[in-house]
């Protein structure tokens, strides 16, 4: 009995590791969801809760971390070669910074949530963009402007701080293009994905 319980815990542990590991592709959302079905369920849950389309959330996460749980900004270099502090406190799939993540935890009450967990991260993306939609009236299908607000914050977006950052505008355009691409792909596999049930990872 004890051995069976240990085996069960091991399977749960390794399933969790598998669900948080990088996928073999980042360009095809259908293949991503087929490899990580738990991600599909998490993205759908986010869509239902926050009204943000699956493909928009996935496009933003792709840009922020390329679906890597351990993604963090590079360290600066002291004296040009000694690894030093990181530029920001951003981490995880959604690259949420400490202050905004704490706001999310206070609002959602999920004190055991982790930025390294995909389900928590995609929910964070949905939460933030829903608040953006309410405050700035950006449509939840407008991946470009949602990303600009995600990057610059509400105040920065309202002041149009991104206009001085041509590199950021180009990135936001890529997020929009990727969202459109994911949307077309997703529409082609949504019915198939919806049929699958009782899959743990």
Beta bridge mates, 83: 77
pLDDT at 85: 40
pLDDT digits (tens, 9 = 90+) for 115-145: 999 999 999 999 999 999 999 999 999 999 9
pLDDT at 31: 96
CB atoms within 10 A of CB 82: 9
- Half-sphere exposure of residue 3, counting CA atoms within 13 Å on the CB side? 0
pLDDT at 90: 81
pLDDT at 197: 61
| Residue bearing tokens 């939840």 | 140
pLDDT at 113: 87
At 89, list the tokens: 């406190």
pLDDT at 106: 93
Low-confidence ranges of the chain (pLDDT < 50): 1-18, 72-73, 75-87, 200-201
pLDDT at 11: 40
pLDDT digits (tens, 9 = 90+) for 54-69: 999 999 999 999 999 9
pLDDT at 26: 86
């Amino acid at each position: 009995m004890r051995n069976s319980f240990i085996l069960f815990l091991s399977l749960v542990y390794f399933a969790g590791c598998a669900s948080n590991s990088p996928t073999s592709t980042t360009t095809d959302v259908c293949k991503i969801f087929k490899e990580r079905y738990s991600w599909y369920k998490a993205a759908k849950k986010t869509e239902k809760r926050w009204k943000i389309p699956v493909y928009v959330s996935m496009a933003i996460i792709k840009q922020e971390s390329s679906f890597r749980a351990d993604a963090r900004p590079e360290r600066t270099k002291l004296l040009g070669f000694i690894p030093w502090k990181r530029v920001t406190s951003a981490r995880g799939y959604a690259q949420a910074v400490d202050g905004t993540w704490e706001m999310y935890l206070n609002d959602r009450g999920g004190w055991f949530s982790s930025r390294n967990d995909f389900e928590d991260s995609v929910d964070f993306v949905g939460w933030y963009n829903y608040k953006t939609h309410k405050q700035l009236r950006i449509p939840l299908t407008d991946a470009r402007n949602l990303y600009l607000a995600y990057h610059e914050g509400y105040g920065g977006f309202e002041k149009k701080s991104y206009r001085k950052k041509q590199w950021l505008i180009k990135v936001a355009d890529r997020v929009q293009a990727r969202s459109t691409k994911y949307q077309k792909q997703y529409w082609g596999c949504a019915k198939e994905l919806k049929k699958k049930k009782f899959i743990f990872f």
